[in-house]
Structure 1
Amino acid sequence: MLDLFSVIDPVAFRFGGLEVRWYGLIIGIAIFLGVTLAEREANRKGYPEDFILDLVFWAIPIGFLGARLYYILFEWPFYMAHPSEILKIWHGGLAIYGGLIAGGLTTYWYCKKRQVSFLLLLDILAPVVLLGQMMGRWGNFVNQEAHGGEVTRQFLENLHLPEFIINQMNIHGVYYQPTFLYESVWSAIGLVVILVLRRRVKLQVGQVAWTYVLWYSFGRFFIEGLRTDSLWIFGVIRVSQALSLVLFVTGLIGGMLYYKRQIIPVYYKDATALNKTFK
């Protein structure tokens, strides 16, 4: 049972010998909402019927696999010594960037296979991905993971956080930075910004996706610096900070160069899936 004044049990309920965890429920709801919203927008843009559902059949499992492999890669000494832990994802170890890379490559392949616009689809999926990231961090909250360094209770109270968040940030008698919340809020703001821009501003195809890349990588760079569970490259630099920096700079330069080359711009509001000028 959920008690707002004590630490939340990561197991939502038990059915016989089966445990259903809050993390899985949150991710499941996020996927359902994301697929529903993406499907509606894709239909409006002329993608084939059930295109999103067919894509999800490939992209979701491959994305999860990519998220796991990415994590294992940067924690290879541990998994080499404990190979039985490789398949135990319930012990933690899914990296968002790994999932985005694997899911993005799968989406590109699928768009090529179906001969529809990949760039336009990225614009459709950008707010959906932010929605998933916003919700997914609450799974980390329930699991008491992806947090920052040690702080005082007074520090958390000064942030005017609800009591249930403060209590959940108390792990074995020590309070920690709620970095899960920082990223969730950053993603929520980005979601609103992107939806407003996409609806009210005359953006070229691809600019919604570029906005997502710049927004998320910028925020993740600073939030990652507060976390205590980061993956590291040779113990020198955090993996997610390095990748965030690369994505931000590449997105900034690449975006400007791409749109400078556009002689006849195609705008998101007027775009359809089969337009071959921005595949």
Structure 2
Amino acid sequence: MKRIVISIVIASASAVALFFFLRAVFSGELILNPVIVENLGPFSVRWYGVMIATGIIAAYLLGRRQGLKEGIKEDYLIEGVFIGIVFGVLGARIYYVAFNYEIYRGDFWSIFRTWDGGLAIHGAFFAALLVTFLYVTFRKKADLKFLQVTDIFTAVLPLAQAIGRWGNFTNYEAYGSPTDLPWKMFVPLRYRMPGYSEFEYFHPTFLYESLANVVIFAVLYWYLGKRKNYGEVTALYMVLYSIVRFFVEGLRLDSLYIGQSEVRTAQAVSVILLVVGIALFIFSRYKGEQVKRVS
């Protein structure tokens, strides 16, 4: 009982502190510095990287817990996660650069400066799916099922996304269109998108998506232990996140576009994943392989 009370007090104090912190930043009273430590040799430590790393670690710890429950050996968990992280980051960067090629064409080395931002979650998702498929196919000793692994991955992925979005916050990126809503966010002039220099306040779309991802994580992680067949959680992630991303993306000013069209890449991909997710859930629920419980 004492631990519960202490946890409630800490959580309440943290929530209050976060509220006043956000109010100061959103009003423009406090301007964030995206760099924590500068001139650390040839590198700098940025909040963006810290948030991404924190999200990955938190997701790994929870995914590891579920994986062990399902009888996956820890050696394979560590090996698979390491490979997945490496190729997930590569996929996220390649996807982003591919749809922003004009920006990087004149400065090749800037492609590797991921600490400045520029990772696309859809690229990481597709890369992770591909690596997972290859891993379970060729690492036969691990005795893993593709949809078993993707279920665990997609159950904890929203938590990593929710934390990672705060890296966008510290970089003053991934914000939305101008607004006068009470929760509007001040964006310093040097971070405003071209054509929006006269506006000061914008939709904090990073916050919208972060909060939505917390809810998605809570739902999926709860459902993970109750699913009937492999693939159900993977499908639900595709459906739930696609709905959120479609609407949030419509507010953003920094969207990636398909060629010279007016079609936002993330919205198009979200529609595709939504349809695939619905089909996968129906298939998994009624024709999928039953989850094997480990006593």
- Tell me which of the two structures has the higher relative contact order, counting C-alpha pairs closer than 8 angstroms and 6 or more residues apart: 1
Aligned length: 255
Cα 1:144–1:96 change in 2 (3 A) is same
Q: What is the one-letter code of the residue matched to 1:126?
A: T
**Equivalent residue for 2:219, pick from 177, 190, 193:** 193
CA contact (8 A) 2:178 2:203 kept: yes
In the alignment, does 2:169 pair up with 1:141?
yes
2:243 — aligned with what?
Answer: 218
2:126 — aligned with what?
Answer: 101
In the alignment, does 2:37 pair up with 1:13?
yes
CA contact (8 A) 1:120 1:271 kept: no
| Moved >3 Å (runs of 4+) | 2-5, 13-18, 257-262
CA contact (8 A) 1:221 1:240 kept: yes
Measured against aligned partners, the alpha-carbon deviations of 1:123-153 in whole angstroms (never above 9, x if no partner) come to 112221111001000000111100101112x
2:210 — aligned with what?
Answer: 184
Q: What is the one-letter code of the residue matched to 1:20?
A: V
**Equivalent residue for 1:55, pick from 72, 76, 80:** 80
SS in structure 2 opposite 1:112? helix
C-alpha displacement at 1:250, in angstroms? 1.6
C-alpha displacement at 1:44, in angstroms? 1.3
1:266 — aligned with what?
Answer: 290
Q: What is the one-letter code of the residue matched to 1:109?
A: L
**Equivalent residue for 1:75, pick from 100, 108, 126:** 100
C-alpha displacement at 1:202, in angstroms? 4.7
How many angstroms apart in 2 are the aligned matches of 1:38 and 1:143? 28
1:174 — aligned with what?
Answer: 200
C-alpha displacement at 1:220, in angstroms? 0.5
CA contact (8 A) 2:179 2:201 kept: yes
C-alpha displacement at 1:83, in angstroms? 2.6
CA contact (8 A) 2:132 2:146 kept: yes
SS in structure 2 opposite 1:237? coil
Gaps in structure 2 of 5+ consecutive residues: 1-17, 25-29, 190-198
C-alpha displacement at 1:14, in angstroms? 4.2
Q: CA RMSD in A?
A: 2.2
C-alpha displacement at 1:90, in angstroms? 3.1
1:124 — aligned with what?
Answer: 152
Measured against aligned partners, the alpha-carbon deviations of 1:66-116 in whole angstroms (never above 9, x if no partner) come to 111111111223322333422222333211101111111111111122231
Cα 1:11–1:46 change in 2 (3 A) is same
SS in structure 2 opposite 1:150? coil
In the alignment, does 2:46 pair up with 1:29?
no
C-alpha displacement at 1:16, in angstroms? 4.8
Normalising by structure 2, what TM-score?
0.79
CA contact (8 A) 1:35 1:53 kept: no
CA contact (8 A) 2:117 2:171 kept: no
2:138 — aligned with what?
Answer: 113
In the alignment, does 2:264 pair up with 1:238?
yes
Gaps in structure 1 of 5+ consecutive residues: 160-165, 273-279
Measured against aligned partners, the alpha-carbon deviations of 1:138-179 in whole angstroms (never above 9, x if no partner) come to 000111100101112xx1x2x4xxxxxx6x633226111000
How many angstroms apart in 2 are the aligned matches of 1:138 and 1:206? 29
